[in-house]
Amino acid sequence: MSSTFEELRLRHGDRHKWLILLTVMIGTMASILSSTIVNVAIPDLSQHFHIGQERAQWVSAGFMLAMTLSMLTTPWLLLRYGLRRTYTVAIVALLIGGVIGGFSVNYPMLLSMRVLEGLASGVLQPIPAIVILRAFDLKEQGKAMGIFGFGVVLAPAVGPSVGGVLVEHFGWQSIFFVVVPFCLVVLVLIRRYLSTNSPMMGEVRALDWRGLLLAGLCTVTVLNGLVHLHDDLRLAAGLLVTGLLSFIGFILWQQRTEAPLMNLKLFSYRQFAMGSVVAFIYGMGLFGSTYLVPVYLQMAMEYSPSRAGLVLLPAGIVLAITIPLAGKMSDRYPPNRLVASGLALLAVSFCLLSFGQSGTSYLTLVAWTIIGRIGLGFVLPALSLGAMRGVEHGLIAQGASTLNFLRQLGGAIGVSMVGIVLEWRLASHRGGAAVPGSDSSGRILAFDETFLFVTVLCAVAIVAAWRMRAAPAAPAL
């Protein structure tokens, strides 16, 4: 069914914007689920493909790298092809990546499908924030962000538990197929509720492919440089220097080009600049820990995949309940205070996990993860709203895309750094090798020290969060 925006608005009335939000929410649920559910299967993937932990983490890091880069193209894709076509192609790509990924016969095939899923997810991620900021009144934005957040975290909340059961009883391949029903439902909703002449469309400029190449070169070299820090310092230094130079080149190019991939005018808004710092560091802590916790529960605490997933289930449900409440609070209280409070709770959770021992009870681990997810619930709705309020209308699409880009870039770097720190600490403790039958005390101590590293990251982000408030005067044009 193909209809114009005006026809759909006339047919569905004021609830049309909520139906659009529902459509993009389910699509984002599928993309986030595909990102997080695989973490439960990392130990099984390592054994199945005979790869070390540092290579296995690329199943997550490769996905996030692809997602990070494709996020920058979302504003251009929306202008060039409209919301309906852009969303349809991204969902189909996510569907293909999930199906073929489940039938992977070797590690390169698996990794390539994860990259395809990441590219699709990157296009999908910024769209809900753009829809909320453009389609909803200021007084409804917090509520809409809370409802969207509830849906987005509900699937990942259940995902680790479902993923653990699937891995244990049907093998790692089964978790790739979980996104299939979500994608099929979204394709139906797209035909019903997304118009052929989306208001997202406007003046189309050429894609800043030079900026995209520089951003890609920077991201790839930095991530690979981090990976080689523990085995080849000269190669690592060369890659990191290349990453720094390409980053400088990217900034200089964005200042020169008429149609930048990332409009640097956004950073003249203090709340956006501080929100960007928070998003980057928060991404490092969030995604690094999302990768770390399931691996910790299986390798250090020696839980089965299904039991490890069940530890995360109550925390996920609490997160799903917290987000709508935090969304409403974002309409009443300064977002920077909510973000700082949430980051503090997240840091406390990771700090408590750093004291984990072999005798730590199951319920204690559940309680510690719940504290972190309550903090996460306060951060998610308030971060986008706090950083974007006051930004001029024409920059909203690029602002939402840039925030998501920086959060995912931090996440990709965070996953790599957590993997590196963990491997380093495992090697430092006698008997700490992550193999079945080795001394568990060394492994637990290595994970505890890695959790402490993540705690410090979250604590640093609190400082930037306190400054994430609009300046008294508008920035100079």
Q: Domain residues of the chain, as ranges?
A: 5-207+261-466, 208-260
Q: How far, in Å, CA of 274 to CA of 281, rounded?
A: 11
- In this structure, the number of other CB atoms found within 10 A of the CB of residue 255 comes to 9
Q: For residue 333, what pLDDT is reported?
A: 81
Using DSSP's 3-state secondary structure scheme, residue 192 falls into helix
| Residue 207 CA: distances (Å) to CA of 20, 116, 182 | 26, 20, 30
DSSP-assigned letters across all residues of 373-410? HHHHHHHHHHHHHHHHTTS-GGGHHHHHHHHHHHHHHH
Confidence of residue 296 (pLDDT cuts 50, 70, 90): confident
Structure tokens of 33?
A: 């689920």
What is residue 90's predicted lDDT score, i.e. its pLDDT?
A: 94
Q: What number of other Cβ atoms are within 10 A of residue 359's Cβ?
A: 6
The answer to whether 212 and 261 have CB atoms below 8 angstroms apart is yes
State which of 97-111, 242-256, 306-320 shows the largest mean pLDDT.
242-256
pLDDT of residue 416: 78
pLDDT tens digits along 339-370 = 889 899 989 998 998 887 877 888 888 899 89
Cβ–Cβ contacts within 10 Å for residue 448, how many?
Answer: 17
**Residue 150, CA distances (Å) to 42, 81, 88, 324 in order:** 27, 29, 23, 6
Mean pLDDT of the chain: 80
- Percentage of the chain beyond pLDDT 70 is 88
User: Could you give phi then psi for residue 390, rounded to 5 degrees?
Assistant: 95, -15
Hey, what are 320's tokens? 């799903």
pLDDT for residue 252: 92
pLDDT bracket for residue 473 (50, 70, 90):
very low
pLDDT above 50 for 474: no
pLDDT band, very low/low/confident/very high, at 120 (cuts 50, 70, 90): very high
Name the residue among 37, 292, 44, 56 with its Cα closest to residue 168: 44
Of the pLDDT bands very low, low, confident and very high (cuts 50, 70, 90), residue 1 is: low
SS (H, E, C) 443-473: HHHHHHHHHHHHHHHHHHHHHHHHCCCCCCC
What's the topology of domain 5-207+261-466? Growth Hormone; Chain: A; (1.20.1250)
Please name the residues in contact with 54: beta carbons below 8 A apart, sequence gap of 6 or more. 227, 230, 419, 420, 423
